[in-house]
Every structure is written in structure tokens, then in C-alpha cells.
Structure 1
């Protein structure tokens, strides 16, 4: 999987929470993350129930691991709560640092509609292969941190660390580390699966008939011609629309989703205890965040 296409999946979401975003999750932190459990590789290839026809509403599809990882909206809520809780500590040290505003309009539902590249004709007609405009104009909540002296910046970070501990009770902050690993690993494994590769071949033949030469959807997404402009041009939009039409004609997304989900389920079964533990911690953090923000359950 190319680095560019991965942004759709895992990177875009995490970046949004850092304050700037795809197939994204964990809330960004100025501190090193706790060591994540090692995700053991399972050599067996799981069976997958591939739908006979292309799914019509991708928003109704949820990947198995989505039960165990936080959405961008949930991560944003955690991040905002930590800054709210840290405010008194920061002020106590005589530092002028406005509490960063909460990021809004982040995904709270399934990640499937963007995980496998463009899939919505209406969105492609506007954005082509470009990612939609970042929520809140892409402003990083902590843009003014670099303006602080180093010692004050360290104090702000320490106050935020204490606020994180207040939310977590000492558990790892944010989304399940092993859940995030499973989410990214299954994408890579499924893209290399022969069933998905066969779907890529069918998709490529369909695109060839339409006048486009790409071996896989990742190649279309990463076409260097799309990088020269901040917005999608007519050629990019036409390519993305043909891409979506061929995905539907070949049931590429239905196949890829089924295989992706099968790899996830295999790993979930192998790491059920860790995932259940992390999910409990996530729920406790979210409840604490809602309380800190004065929100109801």
C-alpha cells in the first residue's frame, strides 16, 4: 500500500485530531504513546463472504474493529476535554494560553465510505481524488504553542499530561493501540490478498475500456498529476468518476470490504482480551470527558 493511499485509511483521521485527517484514529498527544502490544501475524487466510452485488450504501457497513477503536469525533472530544481540564493548571502557573477550541464536523460513523478510495459520485464530482476540506479550516488547535517560551511550553504539556491521567486513571490515552494496529494491518493484508488482487485486475480492465490505464485504485489515487493543484480539475474529476463506476461494475469494494473484515475478525479473535480491556478503558475515558465538558451521557 502506498503512503499516499494510506492517508485515506489511517493517517487522515489521526491528523485531524492533531489539528490538521483518512482510515484515520488515535488522539494526537505531545507525549510518547504507551508501548502497544505486538500484533502477531496469522498466516492462515480467512474465508470471506463476498456479496454477489456491489453494496449500494457504504455508510451502513461497519468493519469489525470499529467496535474497538474511537472515531475521529470521539478522539476530538477526548482532546478537547484534556485541554479544558488542563486550563486551571496552566493558569495556575501564570501562563496565558487560551483553551483550544473543539474540532467539529468530524466523522462519527463508519470509515468504510472513504477507506477504499473515492466511492461517492457526488463527492468525486466536487473533490476528485482530493480529500474534502478539513474541518474548521484545518486549523491546528495548538497553533499558538510555538509562540510560548520553551519552559512555558513544557509546563503546558505537563498540565495536559496530568489532565490525560485524570481522564484515563492511568490507562493508555485514546484509542486502543492494538485495535489501531489491526485496522491498518488488515488493510495492507487485504490489499495483497489474491481475491482483492483479482478484483483490482477486473477494475483495471474496466478502467482501460473507459480510457484510463491504472493497475489498481491506489495508482489512480496517487497519480502525480493530481498533486499540482489544491482543488480537483476536470481531468481528475472524470477519472475519479470512472474509478467509482468501475468499482461498482466489478464489485471491488464489496470484495475488498469482505476480505478486509475477515482479516480483522481473525485478529480480533487472537487478541480479544486486550481489545475488551481497551474498549472498557475507552468507554471510561469518554464518560469522564463528557463529565468534564458538562455533557450528558
Structure 2
């Protein structure tokens, strides 16, 4: 939303080719293999066989128009960023901090839960039997991140990880336990979370209106 406001402002200021000046809206992964490993250690066998623990590489973005330069351009860009910040305003209340804290607490509780601990131990025993020493599926991928490409050793480890995660049912247990803790948190913090949801909806509506007004505004 912020980037859209800045782009709209810059184009009204006469910079029709401005497309964000390096700013990009957050995008979800383009496919299921973009982030192949998580805190629970899940890795699909197809991905493990060809990608290992390395994230999927996106295609290089197409080169866009070279942005304008000079004092007038810089001044307009700074002013548009300021206008966007002023129009968006502060985040809607303390709800975002609450959500972050609750998520961190749910992750910590899940990691300590006896069901997850037992499944992780079963996963580690399976990995050891396959010839790979590993105690924590979350840190296992870190061993291979210094290499630019997946090595044969990494692919073999990833395949064992996929097999052992399935055999121990670790992913299903981890998700089930995490969801349980998060449902409890939602119940215990329902009033604050509902208030935050309404604040976010109101801010989204305001930003949508601002974007429509910005697109329709005449150039200065």
C-alpha cells in the first residue's frame, strides 16, 4: 500500500516511468518449494531429491526503466515518501505487538511440548539409522547454507530428512500441537484480537480510499 501511494504521487509529479525506485510490495512464495524447510523439519520428497534445503530460485526480474535523477527527482521522491507516511498514519493500535508476542509464545510452547519432543526424538533416531547425525530439524538446513548449490551430500541428507519426517509423523504432530496452543491464545485474547482485526479493516478501507483519491487527483 505504501509503495502504491509513493508511485501514484511520483507519477502525478511528472515521473511517469517511476515504478517504485527499488521498493517492492511483499509477495508470497511463487510455489510450494520456495521455502522447503520449516521449524518442524518438513521437506517433501520431490523437493528433497532435486533441491535439498536450498530455497527455490526465482527468475531474474525484467529490467525496468532507469529512474530519473537530479535534485528535482530526489526532492519529489522524498516528499512523496513523507506524504505517504503522513496519509497512512501509525499502525492500528498495539494489536500487531500482541500478535507477534503470542506467535512467539506458541512456537516456544510447541517446541517444549512432550508430543513434539517425542516425535523429534523419533526423527533423530531415524536420521541416525540412515547414517546422518541430526538432533534438530530446524537447524539441519543451516549446515548447507554456505554452498551456492545443493551438493550430493545435501541431497542425500534432505532425502533422509523427508523420509524420517514422514516416518515419525513429525510435521503433522507439530502443526496439530501449534494449532492447539494458538486456539487457546485466541480464546484467551479474543477481545484484544477482535479489536485489532477491526482496526486493520478500517485502515485497509482508508488506504484503499487514499489510493483511489490519489489516482484521481490532478497533477500539481
Please give the TM-score of this superposition, normalised by the length of structure 1: 0.54
| Deviation digits for residues 175-200 of structure 1 (CA, Å, limit 9, x no counterpart) | 94322332233122211223211111
Q: Tell me how far 1:88 sits from its aligned partner.
A: 4.6
Aligned counterparts of 1:203 and 1:154: Cα–Cα separation in 2:
53
Equivalent residue of 1:281, what SS? helix
Whether 2:56 is the aligned partner of 1:132: answer yes
Aligned counterparts of 2:198 and 2:61: Cα–Cα separation in 1:
31
Preserved contact between residue 83 and residue 163 of structure 1 (Cα < 8 Å) = no
**How many matched pairs?**
202
Equivalent residue of 1:228, what SS? coil
Aligned counterparts of 2:87 and 2:48: Cα–Cα separation in 1:
41
Max Rg structure? 2
Name the structure, 1 or 2, with higher relative contact order (CA <8 Å, separation 6+): 2
Corresponding position of 2:167: 249
Whether 2:24 is the aligned partner of 1:106: answer no
Equivalent residue of 2:150, what SS? coil
Q: Tell me how far 1:207 sits from its aligned partner.
A: 0.5
Alignment of 1:118-129 (within 5 A): 118-129=42-53
CA RMSD of aligned residues (A): 4.1
Aligned counterparts of 2:200 and 2:30: Cα–Cα separation in 1:
15
Aligned counterparts of 2:61 and 2:150: Cα–Cα separation in 1:
18
| Deviation digits for residues 65-113 of structure 1 (CA, Å, limit 9, x no counterpart) | xxxxxxxxxxxxxxxx322223354456677882327658625999x98
Corresponding position of 1:30: none
| Deviation digits for residues 155-209 of structure 1 (CA, Å, limit 9, x no counterpart) | 34312213423xxxx5539x94322332233122211223211111110000111
Aligned counterparts of 2:187 and 2:30: Cα–Cα separation in 1:
25
Question: 5+ unaligned residues in a row in structure 1: which ranges?
Answer: 1-80
Q: Tell me how far 1:138 sits from its aligned partner.
A: 8.0
Aligned counterparts of 1:117 and 1:232: Cα–Cα separation in 2:
17
Aligned counterparts of 2:157 and 2:128: Cα–Cα separation in 1:
11
Please give the TM-score of this superposition, normalised by the length of structure 2: 0.70
| Deviation digits for residues 220-269 of structure 1 (CA, Å, limit 9, x no counterpart) | 1222xx12322222211221121111111111112211221122122222
Equivalent residue of 1:247, what SS? helix
Corresponding position of 1:235: 153
Aligned counterparts of 1:83 and 1:180: Cα–Cα separation in 2:
24
